[in-house]
């Protein structure tokens, strides 16, 4: 991915003539906008807005007001970047794409009014529903999937259930408001209800199973009537309406009419941003959550509670290891040491503190000196935890040093992920390449090397490592104009990543052995985590 076009004049002309693609992604902590040229590897401008989820009445949520104010600020920052670089203002785009955190629950009534606050992927209150659905469907239904949220609301006899007329994800909601169309990309749809990859649509037999399951509890409910229409990558998913243009750009400069690609989840855009959409490829995305996506050659032998079966944006089957907790606890520790440096009179910015502490981790013992670090701020289904309690644990003979502490914190980010990836190993799933992206990989060669040790596999990081999602949905938007002549995998190989450079870290034997020892203690120590949840 290059940061500028060939010349400012060429970029200016592309912007004025609408020969660009705009990608918007709602991440857990940032809303980002990314503008690319006709060559999607050329990034013309970016904008972002920081936001945080709220824990209200024991529910992790974002308000819809924050959705729109944050989107408008990110877009305004992108426009300001365009003006600063090229002295023009965009009035239209060749294509637009919207992506967001996958899954969760947004339910609306017949008047398009939100019935209950947005329930995000981070909530773990759907255990009874997920267990019942997993048994009836004979496949793993994760706690965060939209169907689990809907079913739990039915089981709990929530007052809003009879009024539900539409259920969608955050990406589907924003796309709907921009275009008027209730559609969703197949990758994001696979986190709402199981998908049949042969049809790229909801699994029809399971739709029948579900309607029968709730016939007595929710008379008249037909789940297919509540879900958005499913579209694969490359299908036009509507056009920006006048109302949508005003929502995105209240200044009035943006004109309606631009086509939109199907809205996708952050897992799908991560796969696109790392060119991991073909069988035997995979990627790891690390942020507030961390997850791995592995494109399958064949079906798994049996359901596993650690693995979700989802799809690529083109509809191919994927095994997903999704962990609710990623790098937030690590960032909190970095903040503590950053404040210490500030109090000591040292002028370090945040990036410098991260780099210093990450480099220190490389000097730690391979097994982190016997230290354990748990990053569980929220519940973690793979680890069997309904709630989280971040912990650092050591025994009297552990070696507590800064290097070991930071290595343990980095290992802790990968701990639950590794539990799920070990299941894929036992299934005999093979990988030719594993890509990684997310802010944790900005310090070159540290988190990447330790992840290679955790997975015992080569890990590649490219130029999109810290900015992948918004760029990934911009690439999917740009694919609209080429989908009739080339499939998504070839488009990425031949037109996006043909000249891409990746830095690949091979697993270091000492790291592999050290992380294996860490993970053995980590698994045993989950009992202490569970006790902390019970006691604190």
Rounded-to-integer distance, Cα 141 and Cα 118, Å: 20
Considering the domain boundaries, does residue 390 fall inside one?
Answer: yes
Are 216 and 308 found together in one domain? Answer: no
Provide CB contacts within 8 A for 29, sequence distance 6+: 50, 51, 52, 287, 288
Are 410 and 534 found together in one domain? Answer: yes
**Structure letter (DSSP) for residue 114:** B
Number of domains in the chain: 2
Rounded-to-integer distance, Cα 237 and Cα 175, Å: 9
pLDDT at 432: 82
Are 429 and 525 found together in one domain? Answer: yes
Considering the domain boundaries, does residue 260 fall inside one?
Answer: no
Low-confidence ranges of the chain (pLDDT < 70): 1-6, 463-467
Residue range(s) defining the domain that contains residue 295: 275-463+506-536
Considering the domain boundaries, does residue 124 fall inside one?
Answer: yes
Considering the domain boundaries, does residue 25 fall inside one?
Answer: no
pLDDT at 2: 54
Are 345 and 454 found together in one domain? Answer: yes
Q: What is the pTM of this model?
A: 0.84
Are 286 and 421 found together in one domain? Answer: yes
Considering the domain boundaries, does residue 387 fall inside one?
Answer: yes
Phi and psi of 259, rounded to 5°? -75, 150
Are 299 and 221 found together in one domain? Answer: no
Considering the domain boundaries, does residue 413 fall inside one?
Answer: yes
Q: Hey, which residues does 32 pair with through a beta bridge? A: 25, 48
Are 211 and 283 found together in one domain? Answer: no
CATH number of the domain enclosing 370: 3.30.420.40
Considering the domain boundaries, does residue 375 fall inside one?
Answer: yes
Provide CB contacts within 8 A for 108, sequence distance 6+: 114, 115, 164, 165, 166, 167, 168
488: left (phi over 0), alpha (psi -120 to 50) or beta: alpha
Rounded-to-integer distance, Cα 325 and Cα 392, Å: 15
Are 289 and 404 found together in one domain? Answer: yes
Are 222 and 280 found together in one domain? Answer: no
Are 323 and 451 found together in one domain? Answer: yes
Tokens of 11: 């970029």
Are 345 and 218 found together in one domain? Answer: no
Are 407 and 283 found together in one domain? Answer: yes
User: Could you write out the DSSP letters of every residue in 91-154?
Assistant: ---SEEEEEE----BEEE-TT--B-S--B-TT----HHHHHHHHHHHTS---TTSHHHHHHHHH
pLDDT at 57: 86
pLDDT at 398: 97
Considering the domain boundaries, does residue 233 fall inside one?
Answer: no
pLDDT at 466: 46
pLDDT at 501: 85
Rounded-to-integer distance, Cα 362 and Cα 98, Å: 38
């Amino acid at each position: 991915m290059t940061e500028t076009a060939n010349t400012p004049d060429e970029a200016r002309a592309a912007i004025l003539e609408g020969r660009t693609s705009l990608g918007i992604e709602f991440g857990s902590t940032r809303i980002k906008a990314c503008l690319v040229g006709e060559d999607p590897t050329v990034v013309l401008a970016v904008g972002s807005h920081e936001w945080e989820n709220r824990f209200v009445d024991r529910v992790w949520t974002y308000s819809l007001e924050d959705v729109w104010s944050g989107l408008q600020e990110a877009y305004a920052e992108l426009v300001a970047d365009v003006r600063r670089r090229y002295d023009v203002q965009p009035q239209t785009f060749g294509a637009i794409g919207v992506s967001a955190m996958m899954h969760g629950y947004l339910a609306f009534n017949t008047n398009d009014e939100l019935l209950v606050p947005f329930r995000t992927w981070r909530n773990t209150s759907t255990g009874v529903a997920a267990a019942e659905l997993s048994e009836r469907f004979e496949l793993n239904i994760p706690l965060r999937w939209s169907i689990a949220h809907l079913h739990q609301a039915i089981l709990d006899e929530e007052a809003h259930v009879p009024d539900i007329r539409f259920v969608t994800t955050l990406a589907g909601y924003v796309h709907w408001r921009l275009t008027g169309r209730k559609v969703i990309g197949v990758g994001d749809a696979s986190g709402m209800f199981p998908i049949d990859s042969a049809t790229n649509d909801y699994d029809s037999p399971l739709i029948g199973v579900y309607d029968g399951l709730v016939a007595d509890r929710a008379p008249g409910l037909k789940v297919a009537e509540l879900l958005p229409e499913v579209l694969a990558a490359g299908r036009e998913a509507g056009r920006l309406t006048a109302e949508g243009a005003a929502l995105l750009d209240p200044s009035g400069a943006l004109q309606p009419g631009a086509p939109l690609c199907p809205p996708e989840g952050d897992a799908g855009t991560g796969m696109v941003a790392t060119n991991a959409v073909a069988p035997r490829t995979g990627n790891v995305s690390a942020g507030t959550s961390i997850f791995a996506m592995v494109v399958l050659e064949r079906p798994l032998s049996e359901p596993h509670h650690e693995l979700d079966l989802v799809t690529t944006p083109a509809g191919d089957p994927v095994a997903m290891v999704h962990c609710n907790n990623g790098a937030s606890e690590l960032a909190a520790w970095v903040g503590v040491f950053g404040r210490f440096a500030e109090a000591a009179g040292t002028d370090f910015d945040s990036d410098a503190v991260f780099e210093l502490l990450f480099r220190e981790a490389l000097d730690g013992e391979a097994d982190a000196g016997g230290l354990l670090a748990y990053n569980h701020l929220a519940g973690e289904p793979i680890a069997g935890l309904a709630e989280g309690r971040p912990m650092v644990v050591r025994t009297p003979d552990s070696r507590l040093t800064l290097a070991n502490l930071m290595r343990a914190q980095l290992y802790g980010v990968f701990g639950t992920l590794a539990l799920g990836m070990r299941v894929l190993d036992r299934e005999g799933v093979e990988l030719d390449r594993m890509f990684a992206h997310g802010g944790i990989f900005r310090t070159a060669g540290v988190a990447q090397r330790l992840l290679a040790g955790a997975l015992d596999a080569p890990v590649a990081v490219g130029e999109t490592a810290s900015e992948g999602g918004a760029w990934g949905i911009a690439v999917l938007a740009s694919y609209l104009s080429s989908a009739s002549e080339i499939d998504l995998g070839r488009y990425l190989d031949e037109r996006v990543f043909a000249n891409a450079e990746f830095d690949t870290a091979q697993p270091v034997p000492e790291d592999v052995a050290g992380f294996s020892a860490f993970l053995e203690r980590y698994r045993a120590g989950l009992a202490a985590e569970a006790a902390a949840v019970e006691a604190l």
